[in-house]
Structures are given as structure tokens and as C-alpha cells.
């Protein structure tokens, strides 16, 4: 599994695509948070807070992570090297897990430079270091879990087609529906009342819950279950190539 993980990282950074995807993520964040005028501009926010970053990052992730994962299995299927991989002393579980961990590590690497924002808002405050540590730590944990879920969805979508563009589009659609679709349905007025219970099933609700700085076991179980479900679906879908 370690070999698969390293292969995934090396293949990502062996071309300019890897650097380009991470660079675009940081560029879009930087423009919205520090340059463009609007609700997400930290300098116009009124006080030193990373709330705008944690509001916009999940939406950027919806496009960033499928772009990272789209080639994971699609390329193997297209080149016919999937069966060759399983001639190695690894199981299907190890193959899927290795691909997942490799791409998730890339998501973590994309997030690491944003820690500079924490230092920046610390210095921007009237009193240096006067910001909500708990909320920031919770929000970063929430982003990591959100990235984990999106990565699992992306891995699953990459097993559905040998075309990377198709895998990317499917990943974006499923990530969007998982994050906002359920919450959107809960806000629809049916029979004169909103279906609030539906909101609990959406990723957005649990992400916001962790972002408050309170680590709830129910949120952790929700994210873990979501990740395991899509990795199981990916494994199930791959079995058809060996039947």
C-alpha cells in the first residue's frame, strides 16, 4: 500500500498539473480573501477572523479535489494497467486505500500554506494573537474531514469511467450535492413547513458543527461513515473489471 501511495504522489508531481492545481487553489483563495472586494475579503471584514476562508474553501474544494482524483483509476483503466497493478502482492483493499491516502495527502499539502493566514490575522488584530484558537482549529479539522469525504467521492468517480473529464464532472456534481444538495432540500417549503431533519444528513451541517470548535463524536462518525461508504463503492465497482 505504501508503494501505491508514493506512486500516486510521484505521478501527481511529475508533471506541472500537480503544481498547477495547488497553485490555482491558493491563488483563488488569495484573490477572494485579500484582493477582491466583497463579503470574503478579510481586510474588509471588520475584525481579524478566518471565517471567510472557511466559508469559501469548501466550495473551492468541490472543484479542486475532483481535479486531483480524476486520474487515480481512470488513467489505469484507460491504459489497461489496472490488472497489472493487482499482479503485485497487494489486495484490492490496499490498492483503493493507497490511492485514497495518496490523493488525500495532496489535499493536506494544498492546505498547509494557508496556515500563513493564521499568522496574518494574528498580526492584523488590535492585540496581536487575539483570535479564536478553538474555532480555527475546529475549522481546519472540519476542512480535513471534508477533504477526506470529497477525496473518497473523487476516487469512486474515477472508477466509473476511463475518461478523466467524465470522472471530474461526476466528482464535482456528487460533491456539490453532498455538501449543499441536502441542505437546499431542507430549505424548500413543503406543506407550509421546512424539512429541518434533512439538514442533519448533509455534509454542510456537520462541517459547520465542527467549525464552531466543538468536536462532536456524531460528526466524526458521520464523516468516517461517508468516507468508508464511497471507498466501499469504489472497491465494488473495480471488481467488475476482474469478473
Average pLDDT over residues 28-46: 82
For strand 193-194 and strand 189-190, is the pairing parallel, antiparallel, or unpaired?
Answer: antiparallel
Radius of gyration of the chain (CA): 19
CA atoms within 13 A on the CB side of 30: 12
User: Are the C-beta atoms of residues 107 and 151 closer than 8 Å to each other?
Assistant: yes
User: Are the C-beta atoms of residues 111 and 147 closer than 8 Å to each other?
Assistant: yes
Distance (Å, whole) CA 167 – CA 146: 19
- What mean pLDDT value characterizes the chain? 83
pTM for the full predicted model: 0.89
pLDDT-derived band at 181 (thresholds 50, 70, 90) equals: confident
Q: What is the DSSP letter of 112?
A: G
pLDDT value at residue 192? 47
Q: What percent of the chain has pLDDT over 70?
A: 86
Q: Which three cell numbers stand for residue 198?
A: 434533512
Distance (Å, whole) CA 67 – CA 4: 19
Q: Write out pLDDT tens, residues 104-148.
A: 998 998 899 998 888 888 777 656 555 667 788 889 999 999 999
Distance (Å, whole) CA 129 – CA 220: 29
Q: Chain-centre distance of CA 211, in angstroms?
A: 15
Average pLDDT over residues 25-43: 85
Amino acid at each position: 500500500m505504501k508503494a501505491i501511495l508514493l506512486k500516486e504522489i510521484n505521478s501527481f508531481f511529475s508533471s506541472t498539473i500537480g503544481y498547477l492545481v495547488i497553485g490555482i487553489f491558493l491563488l483563488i483563495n488569495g484573490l477572494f480573501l485579500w484582493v477582491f472586494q466583497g463579503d470574503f475579503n478579510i481586510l474588509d471584514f471588520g475584525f481579524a477572523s478566518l471565517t471567510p476562508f472557511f466559508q469559501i474553501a469548501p466550495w473551492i474544494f468541490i472543484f479542486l479535489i475532483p481535479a486531483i482524483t480524476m486520474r487515480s483509476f481512470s488513467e489505469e483503466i484507460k491504459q489497461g494497467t489496472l490488472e497489472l497493478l493487482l499482479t503485485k502482492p497487494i489486495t484490492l483493499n490496499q490498492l483503493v486505500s493507497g490511492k485514497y491516502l495518496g490523493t488525500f495527502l495532496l489535499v493536506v499539502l494544498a492546505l498547509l500554506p494557508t496556515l500563513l493566514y493564521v499568522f496574518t490575522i494574528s498580526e492584523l488584530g488590535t492585540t496581536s494573537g487575539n483570535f479564536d484558537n478553538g474555532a480555527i482549529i475546529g475549522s481546519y479539522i472540519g476542512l480535513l474531514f471534508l477533504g477526506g469525504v470529497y477525496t473518497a467521492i473523487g476516487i469512486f468517480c474515477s472508477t466509473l469511467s476511463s475518461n478523466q473529464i467524465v470522472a471530474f464532472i461526476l466528482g464535482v456534481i456528487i460533491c456539490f450535492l453532498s455538501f449543499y444538495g441536502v441542505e437546499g432540500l431542507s430549505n424548500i417549503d413543503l406543506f407550509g413547513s421546512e424539512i429541518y431533519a434533512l439538514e442533519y444528513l448533509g455534509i454542510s451541517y456537520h462541517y459547520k458543527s465542527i467549525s464552531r470548535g466543538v468536536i462532536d463524536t456524531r460528526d466524526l462518525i458521520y464523516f468516517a461513515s461517508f468516507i468508508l461508504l464511497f471507498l466501499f463503492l469504489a472497491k465494488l465497482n473495480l471488481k467488475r473489471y476482474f469478473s
